[in-house]
Amino acid sequence: MSFEEFINKIQYSFSKEDIELIHRAFDTAGKAHKGQKRFSGEDYIIHPICAALILASIFPDATTVAATLLHDVSEDTKYTLEDIRKEFGEKICMLVDGVTKLGTVRLRNSTDKSYMENLRKMFVATSKDIRVILIKLADRLHNMRTIEYVKPAKRKRIAQETLEIYAPIANRLGIGEWKDELEDRAFEVVEPAEYEKTVALLKERLPESQIRINDLQKSLVTILRTEGVKFKQVKGRVKRIYSLYKKLKKYDGDISKIYDLLALRVIVQSTPDCYSTLGAIHKHLQPIPGRVKDFIALPKPNGYRSIHTTVFSENRNVFEIQIRTEQMDDQAERGIAAHWFYNEQGKPDVTDGYTEAASRSELEELQWVQDLQDLQEQTRDSKEFFDQLKIDFFRDRIFVLTPKGDVKDLPEGATPIDFAFSVHTDLGFYMLGAKVNGKMVKIDHELKSGDVVEIIKTKKPVKISQDWLNYAKTTAAHHKIRKYLNENQSGIFNTLKNMIVRKK
């Protein structure tokens, strides 16, 4: 592929200097990889080029595009990191170095230990510069697209890793498109039989659902026109394979219980339009109680915003409808990148006064990035790091509110203990009890999204029992409780020792 072909495939424009930089990286990578082949027999250079094109779908800056083109150079060719530093500067060198370090996961037939070490490096790199992880995700996505050429034994390990590590990270960063594709491709390799079964089930259902959703789409457009609601687009979407598989497991394989197999998405102009659209729909189509979700007022922790509702159609079929603005739709696909590369790309600012893209410093304060940094400081042992990581990072998140309305982002299954330690470092030690939505609950009560949680305090620190370790779900709470128990246990030991000494 020539440079002109490559740059023309990118859907947005760069400045002259940016293009010059990308061109240099393109040529350097081409020279460095010359003569190398992929498993597929293609020239190696096609891989960094495709990775860069995948990355381009989230509109990154020129530095990140250049680093993606160079991402395998220092590892696989004579060209060194030093050469990159000299020719492309510190930043690109740092990005390539970060990606290379993560890449060792792929190259080694890793035992548990080195795998965890690499995982650790990956997170250190991530918290330093989120672009390292974006490049790595694009790299992995291209590798998944071409995984059929990899040896079967290795294929499974890569797919497993993709499902367990990379897809959850893409999800956490809010990059929906990448998450979906990573999941579906990895699922097909990891559990081929289950994959086929799910695809078959979907295919069997689809034609009938398709007819029904076309009907609904028509009546929805009529409703919106009748009510005078301005909308840009009404589109249908089919549920992704892996997401369907997970939901089926929840409902004992009963596909009739899955209401969002096909969903309609209404794209409107502004945030107020989202609410008037919801009103118009509910006026004509009966909503199912308890199924209206306002992710605009309370966005998901990964930044996802939209209104979801589930309604009965005129023929008494059940459908999910998603309502959002173009900007929210864009963000659901590009996630963190929609914020991160915002200013640099000079994309038109389409905020409507109600919602504004989070600033970079706000993003740096993302709870999970902070959690990761804490985790790294607290754990020296790789095994413990990984165990904690699985508890915290790969769980789904919930958000609960303080009585003042501050939002706390916690892992699913979190209890008032976790809440207390997340509000204030020591609040947990003074916790007598907790109220959820005004009612007293036990301290091991499982919190749900949207709960208002109030901690009842005492003046003196309370006695904390070993059980608290089972009730707490977050790393932060675990760490504090363990420290407390260690200190207080040694206190008991000292008392016992003194008693024994005295007896003598």
Q: Looking at the annotation, which residues are catalytic?
A: 75-76
Rounded CA gap, 342 and 351, in Å?
Answer: 12
DSSP 37: B
Q: Which is nearer to Mn ion, 106 or 395 (CB)?
A: 106
- Residues 134-173 close enough to bind Mn ion by CB under 5 A: 139
In the shown chain, the binding pattern of residues 51 to 90 toward Mn ion, with x for contact by CB under 5 A and - for none, equals ---------------------x------------------
Q: How far is the CB of 147 from Mn ion (least distance, A)?
A: 13
* N-term to C-term CA, the chain: 87
The tokens of 105 are what? 């996961």
Q: Are 285 and 313 in contact (CB under 8 A)?
A: yes
One-letter-per-residue 3-state SS of 87-141: HHCHHHHHHHHHHHHHHHHHHCCCCHHHHHHHHHHHHHHHHHCHHHHHHHHHHHH
Q: Which is nearer to Mn ion, 166 or 468 (CB)?
A: 166
DSSP 1: -
Q: How far is the CB of 279 from Mn ion (least distance, A)?
A: 49
Q: Are 225 and 282 in contact (CB under 8 A)?
A: no
Instruction: Give the residue closest to Mn ion by C-beta.
Output: 139
Q: How far is the CB of 79 from Mn ion (least distance, A)?
A: 14
Rounded CA gap, 422 and 407, in Å?
Answer: 11
Q: How many residues bind Mn ion (CB under 5 A)?
A: 2
The yes or no reply on residue 97 touching Mn ion (CB under 5 A) is no
Q: How far is the CB of 155 from Mn ion (least distance, A)?
A: 16
Q: How far is the CB of 38 from Mn ion (least distance, A)?
A: 10
Show contacts of 31-40: CB within 8 Å, 24+ apart.
32/70, 32/73, 32/77, 32/78, 32/79, 33/72, 33/73, 33/76, 33/77, 36/76, 36/77, 38/146, 38/149, 39/146, 39/149, 39/150, 40/146, 40/149
Given strand 307-312, what is the order of strands in its sheet?
233-238, 262-268, 318-325, 307-312, 293-294
Q: Which is nearer to Mn ion, 29 or 266 (CB)?
A: 29
> Which residue has 């597929």 as its token pair?
40
Q: Which is nearer to Mn ion, 105 or 447 (CB)?
A: 105
Q: Which is nearer to Mn ion, 129 or 352 (CB)?
A: 129
The tokens of 292 are what? 């209206």
Q: Are 68 and 131 in contact (CB under 8 A)?
A: no
Rounded CA gap, 80 and 90, in Å?
Answer: 13
Q: Which is nearer to Mn ion, 107 or 221 (CB)?
A: 107
φ, ψ for residue 263, nearest 5 deg: -130, 160
Q: How far is the CB of 386 from Mn ion (least distance, A)?
A: 24
Listed residue (330, 183, 332) closest to 244, CA to CA: 183
Q: Which is nearer to Mn ion, 72 or 409 (CB)?
A: 72
Q: How far is the CB of 140 from Mn ion (least distance, A)?
A: 8
The two beta strands, 439-441 and 453-457, are unpaired
Contact residues for Mn ion (CB under 5 A)?
A: 72, 139
